Amino acid sequence: MNLLLWVGVALAGGAGALLRFLVDGQVSARVGRSFPYGTLVVNVSGAVALGLLIGMTLRPETVLLAGTGAVGAYTTFSTWMFETQRLGEDRQLTGLLSNIVVSLLAGILAAEVGAEVGRALGGAL
Amino acid sequence: MTTYFGERQRVGDRFFADAQLELFGRHEIATSVLLRGISGFGAKHQLRTDRLLTLSEDLPLVSVALDSRAKIEAVADELSDLAHRGLVTLERARLVRDELGSIELPEELREATKLTVYVGRQERVYRAPAFAAICELLHRRGVDGATVFLGVDGTSHGRRSRARFFATNAEVPMMIIAVGTGQTIARVLPELGGLLRRPMVSVERVRVCKRDGELINRPHPLPCRDHLGTPLWQKLMVYTSERSRRGGEPIHRALVRRLRASAARGATVLRGIWGFHGQLPPHGDRIWQLGRSVPVCTIIIDSPDRIGASFDIVDELTTEHGVVTSEMVPALAWVTEDRPTSRPRLARHRF
């Protein structure tokens, strides 16, 4: 653990947060519905990315930078929960439940697919 | 005067909203109030909503200012120099302050009347909050509906008061909009005068288009210009509740989605804190409830040739609930960065 790594995590985190802002904004503005597709896309794609990183068994510093820093800042638990609560305020029970169930199932599947692909790639390298 | 802006807009080193209300304070505007919208879109059809975190960064702000014509025109002039982007409309309203004893409504107000009452946040009537007491009275007297909006800034009798996080905010204004027949409103006015210490109300002519799903009248068919060639505009106000739903989602959400997909020029949704329409008694939110039940109001402004299409969408979505009114907007100005805006001229048209 050195200063360089700390700065690296901060920078990667910043980039991840920015990327989320762009992706979520684009998806939400395109779809224009009250169901939070933007956050779903962000979280599922983040799960694929993290699965990939872990599957590839890289050096611990790289995993810290890309995984904790970038993907950690890119994906968001709080927004997922916040937008689910807002669906509840609108009495959209179907939306509320599907936001939880779909996010969970798609997330696990995405992480699994990412890990498999990562292992295949890691073996090839 | 009503203005519609994004809340992130800045003038120099401060927010436009702050600069605007400072202007109202400097001109000692009789009454004005700044309201935060919960969703909407403008001429560019860019959606803003409090539902999604990323799209909630620049929600709409609506300000309403009432005073004599000369004062409002002076303020409107300064305002269009100040702003970069937004919408300013001027409306004719009759302002009644302090003396609410015997008011004789002119003939044209007898059709249907929009009554707006301005009170302070902490104002009380016989120990009850003033806004709740007023709603109770309006409901009992058979007014079609009333909605209470919480202001975050404003002027009252010419003095500005802005809401702060750690303060009692007693003087910060609230706005109560009620719609009823001219006779009902005329009967309620003296009673309101008896309830409030320094009443400040305005009355405007509107047309009630729908009530509880029943189509009463379509909006007035107005020409796009008056006899002197000044453009006319029209405003629809749709009063519904967070509780009234259409295909699973609240009516106002469906409305914004459908209007945004159409050729409508814009819509803004304001959320009230208390109110009623139709048979339901006045209600608001309770603590520890997930689903909200406060009243909401969707404002749609467009030219007379396009308002009909928007009304069809409104009509389709309000088959069971809600009150829909239409009124004439005699002057409107889009404020844009690339084009200098001149103060809109008031159109004259009798109908």
Q: What is the CATH number of the domain that holds B139?
A: 3.30.70.120
Tokens of B321: 């609930």
Angle, alpha carbons B294-B45-B92 (nearest 5°): 65
Q: Using CB atoms, pick whichever of A33, A83, A91 lies closest to residue B245.
A: A91
Question: In the prediction, which pLDDT does B102 show?
Answer: 54
In this predicted structure, the answer to whether residue B83 has a pLDDT above a threshold of 90 is no
B176 in a structural domain: yes
In this predicted structure, the answer to whether residue B239 has a pLDDT above a threshold of 90 is yes
Question: In the prediction, which pLDDT does A123 show?
Answer: 65
If you average pLDDT over residues B316-329, what whole number do you get?
A: 91
Q: What is d(CA B201, CA B124) in angstroms, rounded to the nearest whole number?
A: 17
Query: What's the number of domains chain B is made of?
Result: 1
Q: Using CB atoms, pick whichever of B51, B243, B250 lies closest to residue A83.
A: B51
**Dihedral sign of CA atoms B175, B176, B177, B181 in order:** negative
Which ipTM score applies to this complex?
0.74
Mean of pLDDT over chain B: 87
- What is the DSSP secondary structure assignment for residue B209, as one 8-state letter? E
Which residues between 37 and 66 in chain B have a beta carbon less than 8 angstroms from any beta carbon of chain A? Answer: 46-47, 49-55
Q: Percentage of residues in chain B with pLDDT exceeding 90?
A: 44
Question: In the prediction, which pLDDT does A20 show?
Answer: 95
Residue A5 in 3-state DSSP? helix
- What is the DSSP secondary structure assignment for residue B111, as one 8-state letter? S
Contact flag B52-A88 (C-beta cutoff 8 Å):
no
Residues of chain B with C-beta less than 8 angstroms from the C-beta of A36:
51-52
Question: In the prediction, which pLDDT does A32 show?
Answer: 66
A-B C-beta contacts closer than 8 Å = 62
B12 in a structural domain: no
Question: In the prediction, which pLDDT does B63 show?
Answer: 94
Q: B341: pLDDT confidence band, cut at 50, 70 and 90?
A: low
Range of the domain at B176: 94-99+107-153+161-205
In this predicted structure, the answer to whether residue A37 has a pLDDT above a threshold of 70 is yes
Query: How many DSSP H helices and E strands does chain A contain?
Result: 6, 0
Tokens of B21: 């209300």
Question: In the prediction, which pLDDT does B293 show?
Answer: 81
Question: In the prediction, which pLDDT does B158 show?
Answer: 87
Q: B217: pLDDT confidence band, cut at 50, 70 and 90?
A: confident
B141 in a structural domain: yes
Question: In the prediction, which pLDDT does A82 show?
Answer: 93
Of the two residues B337 and B27, the one the predictor is more confident about is B27
Question: In the prediction, which pLDDT does B79 show?
Answer: 85
Question: In the prediction, which pLDDT does A96 show?
Answer: 93
In this predicted structure, the answer to whether residue A51 has a pLDDT above a threshold of 90 is yes
Residues of chain B with C-beta less than 8 angstroms from the C-beta of A97:
none
Neighbours of B171 (CB within 10 A): 19
If you average pLDDT over residues B312-338, what whole number do you get?
A: 88
B254 in a structural domain: no
DSSP secondary structure string for all residues of B226-293: -TTS-B-EEEEEEEEETT-EETTEEHHHHHHHHHHHTT---EEEEE-SEEEETTSPPEE--TT-SS--
Question: In the prediction, which pLDDT does B103 show?
Answer: 60
In this predicted structure, the answer to whether residue B4 has a pLDDT above a threshold of 90 is yes
- Which residue, B137, B71, B154, B147, is CA-closest to B114? B147
B286 in a structural domain: no
For chain A, the 3-state helix, strand and coil shares in percent, each to the nearest 5, are: 85, 0, 15
Q: What is d(CA B231, CA B229) in angstroms, rounded to the nearest whole number?
A: 6
Nearest CA in chain A to B40: A32
If you average pLDDT over residues B215-236, what whole number do you get?
A: 88
Q: Which amino acid is at A111?
A: A
The per-residue pLDDT for range B90-145, each reduced to its tens digit, is 998 888 877 766 566 666 555 789 999 999 988 888 888 999 999 999 999 989 99
Contact flag B53-A24 (C-beta cutoff 8 Å):
yes
- Which residue, B110, B123, B102, B98, is CA-closest to B175? B123
Question: In the prediction, which pLDDT does B109 show?
Answer: 56
Tokens of B237: 């106000």
B179 in a structural domain: yes
User: Would you mind telling me the total number of residues written for chain A in this entry?
Assistant: 125
B79 in a structural domain: no
Q: A111: pLDDT confidence band, cut at 50, 70 and 90?
A: very high
Separation in Å, CA of B280 to nearest CA in chain A: 19
- Which of B52, B242, B244, B287 has the highest number of chain A CBs within 10 A, making it the mutation to test binding with A? B52
- Which residue, B119, B179, B174, B181, is CA-closest to B150? B174
A61-65, B104-108, B253-257: range with lowest mean pLDDT: B104-108
How far, rounded to the nearest angstrom, does the alpha carbon of residue B145 sit from its chain's CA centroid? 14
Q: What is d(CA B41, CA B231) in angstroms, rounded to the nearest whole number?
A: 22
Residues of chain A with C-beta less than 8 angstroms from the C-beta of B47:
28-29, 32
Q: What is d(CA B325, CA B266) in angstroms, rounded to the nearest whole number?
A: 17
Separation in Å, CA of A38 to nearest CA in chain B: 9
Q: B54: pLDDT confidence band, cut at 50, 70 and 90?
A: confident
Question: In the prediction, which pLDDT does A50 show?
Answer: 95
Q: What is d(CA B151, CA B173) in angstroms, rounded to the nearest whole number?
A: 5
pTM, full prediction: 0.87
Neighbours of B133 (CB within 10 A): 19
In this predicted structure, the answer to whether residue B208 has a pLDDT above a threshold of 80 is yes
B172 in a structural domain: yes
